Amino acid sequence: MRPEPRKIAGAVCTLALVVSACGSEAPFPDGRIVDLSHAYAADTIYWPTDGRGFEYETLAAGPTGAGYWYAAGRFATAEHGGTHIDAPIHFAEGHDAVDEIPLGRLLGDGILVDVRTACAADADYQVRVQDLLDWEREHGEIPTGALVLLRTGWSALWGDRRAYLGTDATGPEAVLALHFPGLDPDAARWLVEQREIAAIGLDTPSIDHGPSRDFQSHRILSAGGIPALENLANLGALPARGFTLVALPMKIRGGTGAPLRAVAIVAD
């Protein structure tokens, strides 16, 4: 579903400040806002080993004795489900937990690498170094500190668990039946060592492709301090470059991951 972009009000732009990668304050960028997050609900897709999914309990919803409306609820969720962040500690002992990730890694200049054609031909496709070099030939070198997004086209399958994950089974055995694209470990290493990116994200359930058994891309990125943003939405509304990504998770102390509200601000 294509988001409805809107302009940021000029008055808000002059007041709002963001923290840049170097820690200084800068005016909030102008442009159209694109929501890159799926909503959390009972049908939100989680990893097959999660048996609970997203749980919401209504605690109050209605008029009070004083005559005003009051509503409140309680929710429960695993760290890794729906649109979420993987903190480096997820696969690298002693590295940053969710609340320790520097903010400069979570907002800044974004780029989009479109690999839909390859993924349509191979559900288990792994984005390769060559895909990134092809992008650079057309758009210029990936900037140091960039937030890199990979568009596989998989978010179009969101809501169809079997199509999105490759299986609608649950439990440990279901992990062996997963099929979706991801990032090749060599490409993960190249992005960490040769381009020193700030973060990476994609529109599939995992940065490692579905058949992975050793999660090498997770391990390489986590060891390099790189957070991964998973189950992103609406990447089709973004250009190859020329947008600011803001990917702020719930600040869970010691968390290995967290629900994420990611948005992009696309320059006019």
- Cα separation of 78 and 85, whole Å? 12
- 8 A C-beta contact, residue 170 and residue 49: yes
Instruction: Quote the DSSP letter at residue 172.
Output: G
Burial (Cβ within 10 Å: 0-12, 13-18, ≥19) of residue 82: buried
Q: Residue 94 CA to chain centroid, in angstroms? A: 22
- Helix, strand, or coil (residue 28): coil
**Residue 179 bears catalytic tag:** no
135: its two tokens = 């992008």
Q: Residue 83 CA to chain centroid, in angstroms? A: 6
Give me the catalytic one of 84, 90, 209, 218: 90
User: What are the catalytic residues?
Assistant: 90
